[in-house]
Amino acid sequence: MELAIFLILSMIGIASALNILIQRHPIYSALSLILTFLSLAGIYIQMQAEFIAVMQVVIYTGAIMVLFVFVIMLLNVKAEERVPNKLIGMRYVGIPLSLLLVTALGLNIFQSFSGQTLRVSDVSTSGLTGNTQSIGKLLYTQYTLPFEVTSILLLVGIVGAIIMAKKEL
């Protein structure tokens, strides 16, 4: 049962990820990316990481991708024309190289997790129920500095966006 759900979710994820590349119209690519995110969220739920799953949906699907879709629609981007590919030789270099990358990454991941199932709840600090509490606890104790640095980075991003949008303040 668990395996079947995982297989269905991962197949949807992979198919929609491929669809991002195959589709010629940017809207369809963006919508496929949303489907990929949703299936990833499903896999997170299966790993009992509900908090990460929901955050994935809220932040990536509900906020960031809406902006993507917004921009694509506002710019009224049409479907891309198939242009004759001048760099035809790149295909013969690119395919082996990307296969090599996938194998290297896959082997690495497989070796570090082989024979053990990883659940996010195992990583949790002791005495806390649910992974929301453990993530919160870890973020505000062990990883306070990276957390704060990230928020400053986001603040810089916001200020930068305002400066770019409003040249004369």
Given the rule CB under 8 A, which residues bind other proteins? 27, 34, 50-51, 53-55, 57-58, 61-63, 66, 69-70, 73-74, 130, 132
Which residue type sits at 127?
G
- Judged by beta carbon, residue 12 or residue 69, the one nearer other proteins is 69
Quote the CA–CA distance of 120 and 169 in Å, as a whole number.
46
Cα radius of gyration (the chain): 21
Least CB distance to other proteins at residue 95 (A): 31
CB 121 within 8 A of CB 131: yes
Rounded to a whole number of angstroms, the minimum distance from the CB of residue 124 to other proteins is 12
- Is 56 exposed, middle or buried (CB count within 10 Å of its CB: 0-12, 13-18, 19+)? buried
As a whole number of angstroms, the distance between CA 26 and CA 158 comes to 26
Least distance from other proteins to the Cβ atom of residue 163, Å:
19
Q: How far is the CB of 41 from other proteins (least distance, A)?
A: 9
Helices 26-46, 65-75: inter-axial angle, 10-degree rounding? 170
Judged by beta carbon, residue 101 or residue 123, the one nearer other proteins is 123
**Of 34 and 40, which CB lies nearer to other proteins in the complex structure?**
34
Residue among 58 and 93 whose Cβ is closer to other proteins: 58
| For other proteins, the closer CB: 5 or 90 | 5
Q: How far is the CB of 99 from other proteins (least distance, A)?
A: 33
Closest CA to 10 of 32, 38, 34: 38
Scan for tokens 């506002």, then name that residue. Answer: 74
